[in-house]
Amino acid sequence: MELGIIGLGSIGGNLAKQATEKDIDVVGCDTADRPELKDKGVTVLDSGEYEELANRLDAPRVIYLSLPAGELIDEQLDELVKHLDEGDVVMDGGNSFWRDSMRREERVWEDGIYYLDTGTSGGPPGARDGACFMVGGREEGFEIAEPILDELSVDGGLLHVGPPGSGHFVKLVHNGVEFGMLQSIAEGVELLEAGDFDVDLEDVFNNWSNGSVIRSWLVELMRDQIGEDNYEDVPNYIEDTGEVNWLVQEAFKGETPIPVISQSVTELFKSRGNQEHAYQAIAAMRHGFGTHPFGEDDDILKERVTGRVDNVSRSHLEKDKERKEAVRPKDRMDLDD
């Protein structure tokens, strides 16, 4: 078997390593030299050397694109198909918008080239040891690529979802579910940190990773990250590529309620400090209708903490920006005063 890979970064490069170990000949194109892949037996060509790439692969060629979503896919596809023949297969393994994938499939099918929108999950570790593929496209094209994808996927991790666009649509929904799960786990961390008990987070997440209802790779990753020495230095700013925004927009257009996924996207926005005036406006209005104070107020703090007689309300967690230590309201005041 032979596989062409365009883009030999963290995903494409790890797929190339896995493929060569499974006796799949890999020819790749990349902007970098990638000596570590050459040592593994991967033939690495310069970016854009698509004629040479095509010459080194037997027909029907199977080529996997591991490139960022957007216009770059269209640009590279335009150049690539000039050197391909009828019956060849191009797979887009990135997080492309599924409607873009449908458009691209129509375009290359005019030349008899199969285009498979190949949603790929598992991150770099999955690409290295066994990925999860959600594939949309014509059945005949999938059958050509299937033996290679079967070798590169984890057991049960290969699915031909349906017609063009369906693979990237399912992957996008997958990413939305991922966002919701991440937010839920993060809120669990917040609750544990703000609670009345001094629990060891790493021990808790290790416990949850063994037999609990919520055991999962994400819970295991949280456990492992907490154990890292630099965990406390992780910044609060969260960056993302924005594809789940497309899912939320499509849901609104179709009036499909997805409150958890929508809120998880909003929480990412909040981490970036994009709202410079909203909380100022709320404070001003609260002062207007109830003469509520501006900024911190010890009397209001005391009422918030002691207002419920049985005192079981959740401790609100604040952060000392310099020390990054939990500062609970009850730690800021003497309840005996």
* 77 and 135 housed in the same domain: yes
Question: Which of 46-55, 123-132, 178-187, 297-306 is predicted least confidently?
Answer: 297-306
Q: Residue 322 belongs to what domain range?
A: 278-332
| Of the candidates 120, 108, 105, 106, the residue with the CA atom closest to the CA atom of residue 168 | 120
The pTM score is 0.85
Instruction: Say which range, 83-92, 181-190, 223-232, 291-300, has the weakest mean pLDDT.
Output: 291-300
Report pLDDT for 241: 85
Specify whether 108 is located in the same domain as 254. Answer: no
Pairing verdict, β 62-65 and 89-92: parallel
Instruction: State the CATH number of the domain containing residue 183.
Output: 1.10.1040.10
Provide the domain count of the chain: 3
User: In this structure, are 117 and 13 located in the same domain?
Assistant: yes
Q: Is the pLDDT of residue 106 over 50?
A: yes
Across residues 62-79, what is the average pLDDT?
A: 95
266-283 tens-digit pLDDT: 998 888 888 877 787 888
Is residue 327 domain-shared with residue 179, that is, in the same domain? no
Which of 102, 83, 95 has its CA nearest to residue 27? 83
Catalytic positions: 171, 178
For 123-147, write each residue's pLDDT tens digit.
999 999 999 999 999 999 999 999 9
| Residue 307 reports pLDDT greater than 80 | no
CA–CA dist 251, 244 (Å, integer): 11
For residue 337, tell me if it sits in a domain. Answer: no
- CB-based contact 8:30 (threshold 8 Å): yes
Q: Is the domain of 63 the same as that of 116?
A: yes
| Element containing residue 107 per DSSP (H, E) | helix 98-109
What's the rounded Cα separation, in Å, for the pair 115 and 129?
25
From CA 299, how far away is CA 303, in angstroms rounded?
Answer: 6
Per the listing, tokens 């179709």 go with 254
pLDDT at 83: 97
Q: Say whether both 33 and 132 belong to one domain.
A: yes
